[in-house]
Amino acid sequence: MTPYLVPRTEPLLRSALDQDALLHQLVDALGSPLNVVLPGQLAENLAGFRAVLDAHRLPGEVYFAHKANRSSALVRELAAAGAGLDVASLGELQHALGAGFGPARIMATGPKSPPFLALAARAGVIVNADTLAELSELALLVAAHGLPRVRVMVRLSSFDSPGVNVMSRRSRFGTPVSQVGAALDLLEKHADTLELIGMAYHLDTMGLPEKAAALEGCLKAMDECHQRGLRPRALDIGGGFGVNYLADGAQWESYTTALTEAVLGKRPPMTWHGHGYGLRNEGGKVRGTLSVYPSYRPVAGAAYLDRLLSTVSPSLRRPLATLLLDNMYDLHVEPGRALLDQCGAVLGTVLEVRDDGDETLVRLDLNARDVSIEEHGVLMDPILISRPGVAGGEPAGVYLLGNLCLESDLITRRKVFLPARPRPGDLLAFVNTAGYLMDFRADHALMQPVAHTVALTREHGAWRWCLDERYWPAADRGEAA
């Protein structure tokens, strides 16, 4: 059985990929690589998250984690759709303000440089404070410039758990939950400059028990606020809801089994230089851990949020959503990857196809930084878009080489199986890469070009395109006149 890992594509993305003449024309004109974003998918994704909040009767906002993609089209579309935006740098904050987000819908998170913090305070956005020092710095800044009170949330970390010791990787972010008292002292002291609106956590984990413990920790911290007479009413639980990348769970299961067998030497290598993705063979036993993203995730995105909210709190013994609602709290979420599910693809031109011994090597005009599926451990096949009018060849297993003059520049170290052997001039589409996998790391190494980004939209069945920076939702929809 051929170890395919067919990506999951929903109707809009599939329809865009079917426009092979248009896509070839765009790459001919704008060069390879080319990023394609689909702002038209965002409304549905946003509605999915809002539906979960509504189903649990929870008021709150969906803040898109901007760092997942720098596209203007996507950010402007979200501004028009009434979403919130989570910005983590000065540049992202400027981008957000320029895209039309009002300050009430912008949340500044992460570590902050002085100019970032200053612009956040002056614009009046919500500051999600990473440390106590940041709170003090912000209070001084607001007082010194006579600015209005700034709304703040306190990001907490290092939660403990009842019953069993739920271990969490140490985070470099946030204030340990044991220091909530000190944080509240500080907020009471600076009550004239800082307004506490809630508590936050963001954990980089797929583990529900860890997140449940953190949410419970935030609820208890909120209770501490109430005891002091403070009245915060929002909880921000960050993102990390995940994406399901593959169409078929059975393919994922048989692929990972085959990979294990290859590591044990029971079948021919499936990777460049026998790379084991974290697995290694020690005396005929598999050691290590399969260090890849679980590309098939039956519960991801909004469904994962729903499952988290339905989880019964270990110590308060009610579902987390019920506890939030009982306490009259708003729930803010910050999905990045999940909100961009199905929102784009990276296109690369096939430059050369050559046979080297038993292997077939395909050289592409893009590199591993233009489409960082390998860095993120997302295993899924690209889709072959043949030049129109050219018949496809026989199925083939190939290695995908990048355009950098570096031994290590493979788009993926997996041997990738395609339904037809590609030919020079064909395109490979790395689909569903808008969230973190697009130009997150793109650079001018070796003076290779960084991809242009185009926004594709479908109106009345016809596809239209424009440069990312020229996309404005209202203008594109032709709502004027």
Partner 1 sequence: MRYDHVTDMIGDTPLLRLDPAVHGLVNIDLYAKLELFNPFGSVKDRAAWSMAAPYLRQATERGDTVVELSSGNTAKALAVIAGMHGLPFKSVTNRMKVPEIKDLLLLLGAEIDELPGQAECLDPTNTEDPLTRMHQLLAGSDSGYLHTDQYFNRRNIGAHVHGTGPEIVADLDGRAPDYFIACVGTAGSSAGVATVLRHHDPDVTVVGLVAEKSDFIPGIRNIDEVHEVGLFDPGHYDSIETISADEAIDGLLTLVRRCGILAGPTGGGAYQGAVRFLSAVDAQLTERRTAVFIVCDRVESYMSYVRERRPALFHQPARRHSTRTITAEELARAKAIDVPDAQRWIAQEGCVVVDLRGPFAYQALHIDRSINIVDELFAELVHGGLPFGRRQPVLLVCPVGEKSARYAALLTRMGHPDVRSLAGGIIAWRDAGATLVRD
Q: Give yes or no: 405 in active site.
A: yes
- For strands 452-459 and 34-37, give the pairing: parallel
Residue showing tokens 């248009």: 22
The binder of partner 1 chosen from 60, 198, 242, 344 (CB under 8 A): 242
Structure tokens at 239: 């993102």
Structure tokens at 281: 């063979």
> Given the complex with partner 1, which of 29 and 406 has the nearer CB atom?
406
> Given the complex with partner 1, which of 285 and 460 has the nearer CB atom?
285
Work out whether 377 is an interface residue with partner 1 (CB under 8 A): yes
> Given the complex with partner 1, which of 16 and 177 has the nearer CB atom?
177
Work out whether 1 is an interface residue with partner 1 (CB under 8 A): no
Distance CA 173, CA 100 (A): 29
- Which of the stretches 45-53, 176-184, 323-331, 391-399 binds partner 1 when contact is defined by CB under 8 A? 323-331
> Given the complex with partner 1, which of 208 and 446 has the nearer CB atom?
208
Residue type, 317: R
Q: Binding string to partner 1 for residues 76 to 115, with x set by CB under 8 A, is what?
A: ----------------------------------------
Work out whether 169 is an interface residue with partner 1 (CB under 8 A): yes
Cis, peptide link before residue 335, omega less than 30° from 0:
no
Residue showing tokens 């991809």: 451
Collapsing DSSP to helix, strand or coil, 269 comes out as: coil
Collapsing DSSP to helix, strand or coil, 35 comes out as: strand
**Cα R_g (the chain), whole angstroms:** 24
Residue type, 37: V
Distance CA 364, CA 133 (A): 48
Q: Smallest distance from the beta carbon of 67 to partner 1, in angstroms?
A: 10
Distance CA 157, CA 314 (A): 18
Residue type, 420: A
**Residues between 197 and 226 that touch partner 1 (CB under 8 A):** 204-210, 219, 222-223, 226
Task: Choose, from 218, 225, 343, 405, the residue flagged as catalytic.
Answer: 405
> Given the complex with partner 1, which of 151 and 190 has the nearer CB atom?
151
Work out whether 172 is an interface residue with partner 1 (CB under 8 A): no
Work out whether 413 is an interface residue with partner 1 (CB under 8 A): no
Work out whether 285 is an interface residue with partner 1 (CB under 8 A): yes
CA atoms within 13 A on the CB side of 71: 38
The full length of the chain comes to: 481
Work out whether 376 is an interface residue with partner 1 (CB under 8 A): yes
Distance CA 7, CA 148 (A): 49
Work out whether 337 is an interface residue with partner 1 (CB under 8 A): yes
Residues known to be catalytic: 405
Residues that bind partner 1 (CB under 8 A): 57, 59, 163-169, 204-210, 219, 222-223, 226-227, 239-240, 242, 249, 253, 256-257, 260, 264, 278, 285-289, 291-294, 316, 318, 322-323, 325-328, 337, 375-377, 436
